Amino acid sequence: MRKIITNTILLLSSVFFIISILEIYFTIFSPYKIVDQFTNNQYHPIMGWSNVPNLEGQTKLWNKSDGIVYRKHNNKGMRCSKEITYEKPPGVKRIILIGDSFFWGFGVSNSEVVSEVLQQMVGNKIEIINGAVTGYGTDQELLWLINEGIKYKPDLVICGFFPANDLEDITASLRHGHPKPYYTLENGSLSLNNVPVPDLRELRTKYLDNPDSYFKKTKKLLRHNLHTYQFVTGKLNSIPRLRSFLLRAGIVEDRSAIYKRIPLYNQPDRFEMQILFEALITEMKRVCELNGSRFLLFFIPTKEQEPNSPTNYEDCDRFTNDNCIIDLGFDENSANTVYLQRVTARDHISYLDFLPVVRKNHREGKLLYYRGTEDHHWSTLGHRAAAEAIYSYLKGIQLSRN
């Protein structure tokens, strides 16, 4: 009995030692544990989700141990340091930015977001309003503009377009694990579908976050506190036969179960995606003009590695090549800018191409995006460069203070 106890203690000590070493390694070089506090959104019956109002505090970039950023939403859910009323102050012009996580400012603190940097440039005679929401497609941005943005009586609406995922966003009823509205074209006209958006909060609680299940509570505790747990379970779940066994045994959650009771829609054809996108931005322009606003489309390129450039992005995961998103970025951006220039010229839509600015900075060795696997969004320098590009455009249409 004494020998059994001794061997058990030695075994447990060895396991604890190995886990400790792995935890130290993952903490320093490749964080895996889930960070709970990055939830910015809440359910919305029209847009699918919206920013949580009055949200404030620090949060953390995925896969970056020291990537702490500060974010704050005002009482309308806008990422802003002040409250903004619908009524426009006398003598003040308003500019609204609509878009996804790029304009929202994923990866940077409030003071570094493009909208806040631009506000400092234009002064107090122009009010910059950040209406961006992480994960939005152009369809949700149009709905936000119609249902919320126009109430602020903007003089200019700037829509940030990120083709790398925005085209897929507008042709699906489910994105980022959440149901959303979507448009289809019926006889050349936009037709809105999936509104009210299905509310899955009760199903999520039942299948994923059951507060009465001690087993799920324990798993959640491990997921959010141990890098090693996330790493090991991720590798196990990547083995199809083993994952199938774990699902049958109820050890892992069948996340697809929460979507089985709702109709799903997906249009994978690239040409159909583009036709729908063109209809959406034309409708955005029409809505703006009906309300006395100008409309501007802002092209957001994906992170790229230009041939023979002094930039040095490192965007490949240490264990797989899944995150190597820059390999084709240069050709993809070049094709997208040609497409957008043609479409906006044909439909008489004001257009601001950010790609020349990105490439100019890259040729000077300035990285406008996060360097490695931690993120693919703009860095602090990227947000400033975007704000400067918009500011130069505003001077050209005499909407800036200078």
Greater model confidence, 65 or 99: 99
* Average of per-residue pLDDT across 332-361: 96
Q: Measuring CA to CA, which residue among 134, 135, 173, 129 is closest to residue 153? A: 129
Q: Determine whether 67 is exposed, middle or buried from the number of CB atoms within 10 Å of its CB (0-12, 13-18, 19+).
A: middle
C-alpha 369/C-alpha 325 separation (Å) is 12
- Looking at residue 219, what is its pLDDT? 74
C-alpha 334/C-alpha 135 separation (Å) is 24
Binned at pLDDT 50, 70 and 90, residue 375 comes out as confident
Greater model confidence, 36 or 300: 300
Whole-prediction pTM value? 0.84
∠ CA(208), CA(213), CA(214), 5° rounding?
A: 120
Encoded tokens for 111: 């003071």
Angle of helix 227-237 versus helix 214-223 axis, rounded to 10: 110
Sign of CA dihedral 142, 146, 151, 156: positive
Encoded tokens for 144: 């936000």
- Looking at residue 101, what is its pLDDT? 94
* Average of per-residue pLDDT across 375-399: 93
Binned at pLDDT 50, 70 and 90, residue 203 comes out as confident
Token look-up 């083995």 returns 239
- Looking at residue 36, what is its pLDDT? 45
- Looking at residue 324, what is its pLDDT? 47
Model pLDDT for residues 156-193, shown as the tens digit of each residue: 999 999 998 999 999 999 998 899 999 999 999 999 99
- First and final CA of the chain: distance in angstroms? 85
* Average of per-residue pLDDT across 110-137: 96
Beta bridge partners of 278: none
pLDDT surpassing 90 at residue 27: no
- Looking at residue 402, what is its pLDDT? 45
C-alpha 9/C-alpha 107 separation (Å) is 44
- E strand spans, 61-155: 68-72, 93-98, 126-130
In this prediction, what percent of the chain has a pLDDT beyond 90? 54
Greater model confidence, 20 or 30: 20
C-alpha 276/C-alpha 254 separation (Å) is 33
* Average of per-residue pLDDT across 312-339: 66
- Looking at residue 211, what is its pLDDT? 56
- Looking at residue 98, what is its pLDDT? 98
- Looking at residue 242, what is its pLDDT? 80
* Average of per-residue pLDDT across 57-72: 75
DSSP annotation of 266 reads B
- Looking at residue 253, what is its pLDDT? 67
C-alpha 354/C-alpha 111 separation (Å) is 21
Q: Which domains can be identified in the chain, with CATH numbers?
A: 36-199+264-396 (3.40.50.1110), 201-261 (no CATH)
Q: Measuring CA to CA, which residue among 253, 265, 273, 251 is closest to residue 339? A: 273
